[in-house]
Amino acid sequence: TIKRLIIQAVGTIGARDPYKLRRKLTYIMESADTSNVDVSIKPWSDAHASKNIYEILHFYEIKNGLDEFYSGVCIDNLLKILADPSLSAYHSLVVQTIQNICIYLGIRCFQYLSQIFPSYMHVVRISSPDMQKIILEQLGKLVSLAKAKTRPYIHELFTLLVDVWIDSQHIGLQSTIVKVIEYLVCSIPDDASCYIPFIIPKISKILLSDRKDVDISTEYNQLATLLLSSIQRMGPYLKDHIFLIIPAVIKGFDRSSKPIPLQKLAMNTIQTLFLCNDLNDFVSPIIQAII
């Protein structure tokens, strides 16, 4: 199946010269009298394909460069592989390939987001934690790359992050979720800030965690370290919700059971938040925790 899809993609790319095809289509559409036009181009079709060549060209408005055209065909076929559960062994490679295409295109990758985001989010909901981690990492990188162009998907993405976080006990996956939230808040703060209250309970649970099991405690401390570092970077965008976060951060150095490096990081986080937010109302509990 995967060989057939690859051959199909290569055949689609090589069968037509997109520039010649576009010139001929333009000539046909602009001609006042098409009765004398030799229309020798027939739509390409395949029983296993969801789009013919005209639909692909129309999707990209018949005006983009060759890079966008070829990339569009590749992404379209790669997403078909991603949607096929029987090809799950190739899914991580597919995701990495799509990411490489987007990195190559830079901000121009925004035109494919309407295909990539829904497909990725669907796969996240039905995949194992390891695959969820891989796809969420790439979603975070896409948010960082395309920034405001990802605005139409922010609600669905935050809903997905909260749902996965609630269901998961996988520390590595939770770390990835924290990074994606950081990408969202730092890339499109005006849109992302209204969703912060929905993740505060999870943030507080991590920072207030006091696990006795050594292995679990170590993992949670690593997650808390990552979370505090992310809070520092998100600091300038947390003004409206800082009062919800500060109490949990204070507990990070108010408990002697916490590792010394983690307590120091919590203090540094408070110091960083002081520089970009008004924390006068929290001076008293902060001093009491330090003492």
The pLDDT of residue 221: 84
Asked whether the CA dihedral 250, 221, 133, 138 is positive or negative, the reply is positive
255: left (phi over 0), alpha (psi -120 to 50) or beta: beta
pLDDT at residue 259, rounded to an integer: 84
pLDDT in tens, the chain (291 residues): 777 777 777 766 665 565 666 666 666 666 645 455 444 544 444 444 444 555 555 555 545 556 677 888 889 999 999 999 899 999 999 999 999 999 988 888 888 999 999 999 999 999 999 999 999 999 999 999 999 999 999 999 999 999 999 877 888 999 999 999 999 999 999 899 889 888 888 888 888 776 655 455 788 888 999 999 999 999 998 888 888 889 889 888 876 678 888 889 999 999 999 998 888 888 888 888 887
Residue reference for tokens 């018949």: 62
Taking alpha carbons only, the member of 15, 16, 13 closest to residue 68 is: 13
Q: Residue ranges per domain, the chain?
A: 188-290
Query: Token pair 């799509």 is at which residue?
Result: 98
Length of the chain: 291
Best CA proximity match to 96, nearest among 137, 38, 66: 137
**Beta strands, E only, 146-263:** none
Residue identified by tokens 């993992």 is: 219
- Residue identified by tokens 């204070």 is 250
Task: Give pTM, 2 decimals.
Answer: 0.75
